[in-house]
Structure 1
Amino acid sequence: MKISDLIGEATEYDKKETLEERRPKSWLKSVSAFANGIGGALIFGVTDNEEPVGLSDSKDVSEKISEIIKTKMDPIPQVIMEIHEEAGNEFVILRVPSGIETPYYYIGEGNRTAFIRVGNQSIPAGTIDLKRLVLHGSNKTYDSLTSQYKYENFAFTKLRSVYRKRAGQELEESDFTSFGLTDVNGMLTNAGALLADDSPVRHSRLFCTRWYGLDKASGVMEAIDDKEFSGSLVTLLQSGEEFVKNNSKKRWKKTANGRLEMPDYPERAILECIVNALIHRDYLDLGSEVHIDMYDDRLEIYSPGGMYDGSQVQNLDTDRVPSRRRNPIIADIFNRMNYMERRGSGFKKIKGDYRKEVNYKEALEPKFYSDNSSFWVTLYNLNYNVPVEKVDFGDEKVDFHSKKVDFEGQKVNIEFIETALTEMKVNLPTKEKAKEVFLSFGIQTVFSRKEVAKLLEISPTSASNLLAKMDKAGLLETVVGQGKGKYRFR
């Protein structure tokens, strides 16, 4: 490691030319901010102009740093001190890991001040920031806190109905406490209040707008469609999906094998984005709500609250973002209803849905952006400025709802497949997975458990369970002579 690799001051790093003993706040605010955030490093011996000049007595500096932290910080954060030698100079690198006892305060001038990191600056935490830090430090989340509302005063018709449909079972009274929607005294938690039919959490709203043109000020007409939704989070999700569907189009074209559909936006990507916006939003921010803004060429979804760990999504590999949930109880309920998975694969799935579409190209890759207080996702209209006659139909996709589909010269009655899927005694997500397997492999293609697992991004065990259910429904036949565990549709 070289000092030159660290001195580019950013969110995770700060620098000081010398130890300012009489002005400890000048550098302890960074220690506080790092401990209250995702951690960072403070380098002593580097000028504001990023010139590595070193220290005259690095050992003495390190001892004084430790003493000042003990007397000026509460609680005392964990720190790691390192004396680094380079090009004849000595530097002190003070590493501060992300703390678990937040908020970490700087004590001085008769005040206790907690700092947070915004960009490359350490600033005093505001009221909402302090609430977040206190919750984090007490190992609690907003959705787990008990509200002032009694369970007996609210209905959960929408939640029960969707849970029955998507999970394949009833939502029992005892489940409300088991799932964290009520406490033992019959009071709703914030999660329960957010999922009630007439949610009393008034700032839990969804604003949807279909703008005219490419921005919010086209000069001709401001908005083509404008809706505001409130109520249960399940209602908000369904309303958001419906708004996008009503304000987008789906092209199609007949092909040799059926009909090829080309939506403006992949439906699964839309669902994933709205689910994430509602589940992971910061409900401590009382002055904001989730927004869906549609333009001719794109769709933008805004959610209050940045990444839960304070990182910036645009600086991360979105295929490998670990799952950290701001509202784990709400996330668990949506997982039980098969709207999302427990593993952190949302970003990857959204990009994967786009890459499967006919009109996809790299310039239309979904974009993700976050800062300290907001999260944005931009989905591009796959059909914008694409003439119909110039669409590339290299990888043709079959319309499942066509009554007759030609697979390599054979006429197959798709009504049999639809009937068999309908009669499968499984929940809706399992039926959708079976449908996707059929759309991908068709009648003649032989496939294995491994190929199904890769297609659906599920485990081999889950793939085996799905194949067993499809076989029981009469959809599959075992293929012999091509290795063990090979199947195709009847």
Structure 2
Amino acid sequence: MRILDLIGEATEYDKKETLEERRPKSWLKSVSAFANGIGGALIFGVTDNEELVGLSDSKDVSEKISEIIKTKMDPIPRVIMEICEEAGKKFVVLKVPTGVETPYYYIGEGNRTAFIRVGNQSIPAGTMDLKRLVLQGSNKTYDSLTTQYKYENFAFTKLRSVYKKRAGQELEESDFTSFGLTDVNGMLTNAGALLADDSPIRQSRLFCTRWYGLDKASGVMEAIDDKEFSGSLVTLLQSGEEFVKNNSKKRWKKTANGRLEMPDYPERATLECIVNALIHRDYLELGSEVHIDMYDDRLEIYSPGGMYDGSIVQNLDTDRIPSRRRNPIIADIFNRMNYMERRGSGFKKIKGDYHKEFNYKNNLEPKFYSDKNSFWVTLFNLNYDVPIEKDEKVAIESEKVTIENEKVTIDNEKVAIEKIYTKCVNAGLSNIMIDRITAFYGFSGDDLIFGRKDIAEYLKFSYSNAGKVIVSMKRANIIIEVVGKGKGKYRFKV
């Protein structure tokens, strides 16, 4: 193994020219950070400028490293030590795998300090970092922790209805415990609390803004649309998806076999990004929320918390990122509802959806960015600054005509209902009866021929009560009897 090759291949490594016995913190902080994160390697005998100077006594250095780790680290991390030789010089390579008993502390100067890796630096872990490490070391996740909330005090209407629709089966009472949404005593876990209709976890919110222009700079008009959503994660997902749809367009052009649709943003890619933002976010970050910011040329989604393993996504091959889930219980529920897959192929799928679109170009590939506390994904508007072709203009005009016709129809229906309402009021009918009559008119319109049975079925009434509705309609002079269709048949007249 060549030392420079190791430096080139390792995503996390530090180098030391010599072993600093009197200043063990200078290198043990990296041991702590590697064990608390995704692992890494320390190479002794290499300068900061990556000059290979070697060690005078590599065996002695390796023995001292082992002894210092045993006395200055708690718990003692698993390490792999190798003595390598290159160009007649010897080096010690200290490999530190990801630890399973986090947090790993450096003990010195009367303190216990856990370190984490940020970029190429090892820094002291903050309060939130320590909470995450403690959960990791106890083999627990945030969504698995039991809350103070009782299952019986919360409703799960949205979760039940969407689960039935997408999974094709009822969500049974026993499923709440087997899926990890409640414990055996009927108390909600954080996963259960996040999926309740009125979620008590207040940092579970979604802020959506459609900005005017290409940035957030103040101007005559800052935001075209602005929404804030709270509640069940299922509600947040559907609301976010709806917000994007309402603030984007779908162009289309005629083809020999029909028409080719050209959305601003591929629907599947958008859904995948919103799902990932809500499921994989860090809920330990109090006072934080997911943001969807739409501009003329792009859509940006922000979620609290970086990559779960501490890695930096822009430094990775996003086609080959292994699946590590910060909130596995929530992820499992969304997988059961077919909103995501277990394979961890989200990044690749998002890019693949873009590659298939008609207006896709290489500079429009989705971008992913993360740091220690945050994650962003940028989806580019495929139709931004793309000229509209002649046949597209015709298609757009056709759609405008269709929409205008629909508007006229709706307006006519509103006028008719208002006339019926006025006649009912003038006839002295009660408000309850007026509501029943206008509701039935909205169902039947002017053309439907109906009788007592139709009214009874629609309003879920008895025949006698349906008869009273017909009497009231006659009193308001809004129906006429239809001859030749059987006894007691009517239709509305406006």
The TM-score with structure 1 as length reference comes to 0.78
Q: Distance in 2 between matches of 1:7 and 1:348?
A: 28
Contact 2:159 2:196 in 1 (8 A): yes
The ranges of structure 1 where at least 4 consecutive aligned residues each deviate by more than 4 angstroms after the TM superposition are 6-11
Alignment of 1:77-476 (within 5 A): 77-217=77-217, 219-389=219-389
Contact 2:10 2:41 in 1 (8 A): no
Matched, 1:28 2:41: no
The aligned amino acid for 1:290 is V
The aligned amino acid for 1:25 is K
The aligned amino acid for 1:44 is F
**Higher mean C-alpha deviation, range 174-183 or range 46-55:** 46-55
Q: Distance in 2 between matches of 1:28 and 1:356?
A: 49
Residues 45 and 390 of structure 1, relative CA distance in 2, 3 Å threshold: farther
Q: Distance in 2 between matches of 1:217 and 1:286?
A: 27
The alpha-carbon deviation at position 258 of structure 1 amounts to 1.3
Residues 9 and 168 of structure 1, relative CA distance in 2, 3 Å threshold: closer
The aligned amino acid for 2:132 is R
Q: Distance in 2 between matches of 1:52 and 1:391?
A: 66
Contact 2:253 2:391 in 1 (8 A): no
The aligned amino acid for 1:305 is G
Which structure 1 segments of 5+ residues have no match? 393-490
The aligned amino acid for 1:350 is I
Contact 1:9 1:120 in 2 (8 A): no
The alpha-carbon deviation at position 7 of structure 1 amounts to 4.6
**Higher mean C-alpha deviation, range 58-67 or range 371-380:** 371-380
Contact 1:252 1:262 in 2 (8 A): yes
The alpha-carbon deviation at position 11 of structure 1 amounts to 5.7
Q: Distance in 1 between matches of 2:178 and 2:187?
A: 13
Paired residues, number? 392
Map Cα deviations across residues 144-179 of structure 1 (whole Å, 9 max, x no partner).
Answer: 000110111111011011111111111111111111
Q: Distance in 2 between matches of 1:278 and 1:327?
A: 10
The aligned amino acid for 2:76 is I
Contact 2:142 2:284 in 1 (8 A): yes
Q: Distance in 1 between matches of 2:287 and 2:317?
A: 31
The alpha-carbon deviation at position 236 of structure 1 amounts to 0.2
Q: Distance in 2 between matches of 1:391 and 1:61?
A: 75
Residues 164 and 9 of structure 1, relative CA distance in 2, 3 Å threshold: closer
Map Cα deviations across residues 166-210 of structure 1 (whole Å, 9 max, x no partner).
Answer: 111111111111111000101000000000000000000001111
Residues 203 and 90 of structure 1, relative CA distance in 2, 3 Å threshold: same
The alpha-carbon deviation at position 9 of structure 1 amounts to 11
SS at structure 1 position matched to 2:122: strand
The aligned amino acid for 1:268 is R
How much is the aligned-residue C-alpha RMSD, in angstroms? 1.6
The alpha-carbon deviation at position 88 of structure 1 amounts to 1.9
Map Cα deviations across residues 375-433 of structure 1 (whole Å, 9 max, x no partner).
Answer: 111100000010122999xxxxxxxxxxxxxxxxxxxxxxxxxxxxxxxxxxxxxxxxx
Residues 202 and 182 of structure 1, relative CA distance in 2, 3 Å threshold: same
Q: Distance in 2 between matches of 1:200 and 1:225?
A: 27
Structure 2 equivalent of residue 423 of structure 1: none
Q: Distance in 2 between matches of 1:352 and 1:167?
A: 25
Map Cα deviations across residues 54-93 of structure 1 (whole Å, 9 max, x no partner).
Answer: 1111110000000000000011001111111112211111
The TM-score with structure 2 as length reference comes to 0.77
Contact 1:182 1:188 in 2 (8 A): yes
The aligned amino acid for 1:222 is E
Map Cα deviations across residues 285-332 of structure 1 (whole Å, 9 max, x no partner).
Answer: 113111111111110111111111122222222222221111010001
Q: Distance in 2 between matches of 1:360 and 1:129?
A: 40
Q: Distance in 2 between matches of 1:358 and 1:390?
A: 17
Contact 2:254 2:391 in 1 (8 A): no
Q: Distance in 2 between matches of 1:196 and 1:128?
A: 25
Q: Distance in 1 between matches of 2:367 and 2:338?
A: 25
SS at structure 2 position matched to 1:388: coil
Matched, 1:16 2:3: no
SS at structure 1 position matched to 2:349: helix
Structure 2 equivalent of residue 480 of structure 1: none
**Higher mean C-alpha deviation, range 117-126 or range 39-48:** 39-48
Structure 2 equivalent of residue 416 of structure 1: none
The alpha-carbon deviation at position 219 of structure 1 amounts to 3.4
Identity of counterpart residues, as a percentage?
92
Contact 1:146 1:189 in 2 (8 A): yes
Structure 1 or 2, whichever has the larger Rg, is: 2
